[in-house]
Structure 1
Amino acid sequence: MLKNSTYKGIGLIWICAAYTACKLPELTQRTENKQVPSSFSSLNDTLSSNTLKYQEFFKDPYLVNLIDNALKNNQELNITLQEIEIARNEIRIKKGELLPTLNYKIGAGLEKVGRYTSSGAGDASTDITPGRAVPEVLPDYNFGLQASWEADIWHKLRNSKQAAVNRYLSTVAGKNFVVSNLIAEIANSYYELLAQDNALEIVRKNIDLQNNALELMKIQKQATRVTELAVRKFEAEVLSSKSLEFDIQQKITETENRINLLLARYPQPIARDKEKFTDLVPPAIQTGIPAQLLANRPDIKQAEFELAATKLDVKAAKAQFYPSLGISAGLGFQAFNPNYLLRTPESVLYSLAADVVGPLINRNGIKAEYLNANAKQLQAVYNYERSILTGYLEVANQLSNIGNLQKSYDLKLRQVKALGQSIEIANDLFKSARADYFEVLMTQRDALQSRLELIETKKQQLNAVVNIYHALGGGWN
């Protein structure tokens, strides 16, 4: 008889589940596209510079030391580490939902039933042996264990737990992306600082040159070879260069403090080698093949794990439409007198129950959650595809940038040499009255500008190498 009732109950569950499944809303399905071009250029090199640790990629010990300190102290990175801890705890929460819950209960109380209630009238109408009557105010003492468990028939809880695992992995990848960004930002700021140091040195040397030219103009004016206009023009040029000197000094302060912020410390000088900037040679970069980006770039891995989590969220949301089976049980002792509390079997109480709960009419909320989960999955698909496309384009852009900057640097270097020689020629011609002061002035101005542009191009070269190292997913490993 009990078996028949059990089979009937199971059959009823499956009938309800089948009915509910037939009413599921239709979803918009989309499979992520992982296809990427076969190469970044005509070269098919499978080696990638992203495998180099930052200590190996950057040869400057001052820069490596800055990165080391930033990875220990950076506040954004430490915030991200706490997000990882939160995601790890979320896994524990979801894992706990799969297991039975077991609670203990200890209680004590008093109860007085009304005389004219069914309980009170029953006690009064019973023939009770003198001295054995139930007290009017009845104490109640109890302790025991209570357990409950939801049978994960439709894998709702397991899918939720696995989604939490993927989100934890996504958070770890997000931390790696923060590390990669942090290394690139420090390196770019460091090279910018070196460029500003060298620009300041060039401007100061140019001020000395302009002061010499100003003194020459004053002598020439006394000799009536030039007018007061020439003196004033050269004096204004010196003042302009001094103003530029202070602008660069302010930029140096701001860049130093930007690095200090990344290292989570108050303003202090940044140790660096200012002398070797112009001699720095950008390291050769090996890009590997585009397919390697899917495994190497932390932001792509982050998007991939988030996509996997949203797919499981859809399955978990779908399981909400089906009935759930809950089992509860209790075991303990209860008596109106503490002396009787441990007497068995009279004071023993136990219970065992099972229930099936499923949506039947009010399904709009569950339907909305199901559709939301699907919409978030589609968002995750598009975000994953965008991450892949962004990664490929960043590498392609920096590859092109490195090649063009090298050509530009070679031309600007020739320009600097030519204008450096033209200053001596202009001064000699001026002294022999074969050139006027304006030609000398413009030659000095052009030479200064070309030197500053050369420094800027060198900085851009170094930044481009840092950026492609970052674009390939380097630094975090």
Structure 2
Amino acid sequence: MSRPLRAIAHVLPIATLMISTFTAQAQEVREITFNEAIEIALERNVTIKRAENNLKLQEITVQSERADFLPNLNFNTGASRNFGLQFDQTTGSLVNASSDGFNYSASSGLNIFNGFADVASLEGARAVLESQEANFARTQQQVVFNVVSNYLNVILAEENIRIRQEDVESQQSLLEQIEEFVRVGQRAVSDLYQQQATAASSEALLLTAESNFESSKTRLIQVLQVDPLANYAFPAPAAEDVPTNLRAYDPNELVRAAFERRPDLKAQEFLIRASESNIKAAKAGYLPTLGMSFGAGSSYTSNSPFDFSDQMTNNRSERVSLSLSVPLFNRLNVKRGIQSSKVQYSNALLDMENLQQSVAIEVRQAYLDYQTAVKRLEVTEKSLRAADQAFQVEQERYNVGASTLVELTQSNSRYIDAASQRAQAVFQFHFQHRLIEYYQGSLDPTQPLFN
């Protein structure tokens, strides 16, 4: 064997192994169940992370407001050197010399009373924190619902692929049957051409269904915020295996439950409390403030005949002071602050009223849509059963020459449409059920997709 051939013989197995490894990695598919999708979304979703960060920021604000009740403490020290004419304490005359100095002091201040402004500010900060916690819970529900919605879209699109694949197989089988009929002279060649066109159209519809499926997967991957370059599979049962347990809902009870459970309504309630606290804090500007301060210190200078330790002991001083400030006229700033806080409080009440109206409308509309979905379940089940039976009969009639290909094709189209409508009805039913839970504020991320 020549040298180039021997080199190729050595390289070829390695290249084959690398290609095989790459192909295996490229074909590796990660399966993500519904519950895993929920866990991934709750862990990675950017909106949830932002809400969590806002929660942490508000916790810092509460800590800052709580710290306002504590005294402050400061320590100051300094050293200096002076040049030029100075008073000599020993001779009692001015001399041209230099001297060194050192001093230190410590001070502390405490707010005793400021019209309860600190109390009101702390109450307001706590109310905002509770509002942020409720908003965080609602954000989690929104993300869970987005996963539910997109996951249902994926499995519906996959179900449509299955329906279209069955149609392609059926059309191909019929095409082979017609080819045999034409060969023996039992059917006109026009039937063959027509069926070839129908089979090609069925394959085109399958391609469309596959494209819709990939688009649905892409949207779900975006919601989950996982690696968009990886391959994923989202397992789910076929439409005929999905349970359809009907639930009896009372629209008035749903609205009442939503008013009690919706985290965003609770968040708005806490914002109203925060607005009330802001009014109290603004009114504190009319009241006097009382503060207390403490201080102590000492100093040293080289001009003194006493040594450092004696000076630091003898020059020590302490002070305690009380300060009272009574507001007499502040250019109406306090009044305008109170008016502004009252307007914000009024807006918070209006926001609550508007939110309650929106919640009631959302819940009632979801209830009506659920009732429509229930009726659609019943109708599509009957329609699919009838379309299946009609197609079977039409197939038998065509086989014996009692029906035309046009009639058989139309019957098959009605069956495919009925199967697609049935799949949509099943998954739409579960979507509407989850939508009620979402609008009601009771959406549980631990529940299975179909229950």
Matched, 1:318 2:289: no
Matched, 1:336 2:336: no
Indicate the structure whose relative CO is greater, using CA pairs within 8 Å and at least 6 residues apart: 1
**Cα distance between partner residues in 2 of 1:474 and 1:111:** 76
Q: 1:430 to 1:155 in 2, by over 3 A?
A: same
Where does residue 347 of structure 1 map in the other structure? 316
**Cα distance between partner residues in 1 of 2:410 and 2:58:** 63
Which of 179, 203, 220 is the aligned partner of 1:259? 220
- RMSD value over aligned CA atoms? 3.1
**Cα distance between partner residues in 1 of 2:432 and 2:357:** 19
Amino acid at match of 2:44: N
Displacement of 1:97 in angstroms is 1.7
Displacement of 1:359 in angstroms is 6.6
**Cα distance between partner residues in 1 of 2:71 and 2:280:** 22
**Cα distance between partner residues in 2 of 1:348 and 1:112:** 27
Gaps of 5+ in 1: 1-60
Where does residue 383 of structure 1 map in the other structure? 351
Q: Which has the higher strand share?
A: 2
Q: 1:475 to 1:430 in 2, by over 3 A?
A: closer
Displacement of 1:199 in angstroms is 1.3
Matched, 1:454 2:417: no
Matched, 1:280 2:243: yes
**Cα distance between partner residues in 1 of 2:406 and 2:420:** 21
Q: For the Cα contact (< 8 Å) 1:179–1:476, is it kept in 2?
A: no
Amino acid at match of 2:233: I
Where does residue 78 of structure 2 map in the other structure? 107
Displacement of 1:349 in angstroms is 4.8
Q: For the Cα contact (< 8 Å) 1:283–1:465, is it kept in 2?
A: no
1:20-60 CA-to-partner distances (Å, cap 9, x unmatched) read xxxxxxxxxxxxxxxxxxxxxxxxxxxxxxxxxxxxxxxxx
1:148-203 CA-to-partner distances (Å, cap 9, x unmatched) read 23333321111111110011111111111112122222222222222222111111
Which of 413, 422, 439 is the aligned partner of 2:390? 422
Q: For the Cα contact (< 8 Å) 1:306–1:380, is it kept in 2?
A: yes
Matched, 1:94 2:59: no
Matched, 1:440 2:408: yes
Give the secondary structure class of the aligned counterpart of 1:273.
coil
Amino acid at match of 1:363: L
Q: 1:283 to 1:272 in 2, by over 3 A?
A: farther
Q: 1:134-173 alignment to 2 at 5 Å?
A: 137=98, 139-173=100-134
Give the secondary structure class of the aligned counterpart of 1:335.
strand
Amino acid at match of 2:235: R
Q: 1:430 to 1:468 in 2, by over 3 A?
A: same
Give the secondary structure class of the aligned counterpart of 1:320.
helix
Q: For the Cα contact (< 8 Å) 1:188–1:463, is it kept in 2?
A: yes
Using the aligned pairs only, state the percent identity.
Answer: 16
TM-score in terms of structure 2 length? 0.79
Q: 1:340 to 1:297 in 2, by over 3 A?
A: same
**Cα distance between partner residues in 2 of 1:63 and 1:276:** 16
1:302-325 CA-to-partner distances (Å, cap 9, x unmatched) read 111111111211221232354434
Which of 180, 201, 207 is the aligned partner of 1:240? 201
**Cα distance between partner residues in 1 of 2:213 and 2:301:** 83
Q: For the Cα contact (< 8 Å) 1:98–1:152, is it kept in 2?
A: no
Displacement of 1:135 in angstroms is 7.7
Q: 1:209-220 alignment to 2 at 5 Å?
A: 209-219=170-180
Q: 1:342 to 1:231 in 2, by over 3 A?
A: farther
Q: 1:433 to 1:292 in 2, by over 3 A?
A: closer
Matched, 1:302 2:263: no
Displacement of 1:434 in angstroms is 3.4
Q: For the Cα contact (< 8 Å) 2:249–2:367, is it kept in 1?
A: no
287-296 vs 448-457, which deviates more? 287-296
Displacement of 1:294 in angstroms is 3.3
**Cα distance between partner residues in 1 of 2:407 and 2:346:** 66
**Cα distance between partner residues in 1 of 2:248 and 2:435:** 11
Displacement of 1:462 in angstroms is 0.5
293-302 vs 336-345, which deviates more? 336-345
Give the secondary structure class of the aligned counterpart of 1:143.
strand
**Cα distance between partner residues in 2 of 1:261 and 1:336:** 72
Give the secondary structure class of the aligned counterpart of 1:109.
strand
Gaps of 5+ in 2: 1-31, 446-451
TM-score in terms of structure 1 length? 0.75
Q: 1:283 to 1:182 in 2, by over 3 A?
A: farther
**Cα distance between partner residues in 1 of 2:206 and 2:173:** 18
Where does residue 202 of structure 1 map in the other structure? 163
Q: 1:160 to 1:209 in 2, by over 3 A?
A: same
Amino acid at match of 1:312: S
Q: 1:356 to 1:137 in 2, by over 3 A?
A: farther
Corresponding residue pairs, total = 405
Where does residue 10 of structure 2 map in the other structure? none
Amino acid at match of 1:402: Y
Where does residue 83 of structure 1 map in the other structure? 54
Displacement of 1:394 in angstroms is 2.5
Amino acid at match of 2:423: I
**Cα distance between partner residues in 1 of 2:310 and 2:441:** 68
Displacement of 1:227 in angstroms is 5.3
Where does residue 18 of structure 2 map in the other structure? none
**Cα distance between partner residues in 2 of 1:396 and 1:129:** 96
Amino acid at match of 1:439: E
Amino acid at match of 2:155: L
**Cα distance between partner residues in 1 of 2:35 and 2:136:** 20
Q: 1:404 to 1:153 in 2, by over 3 A?
A: same
1:62-83 CA-to-partner distances (Å, cap 9, x unmatched) read 3223323333333322222221
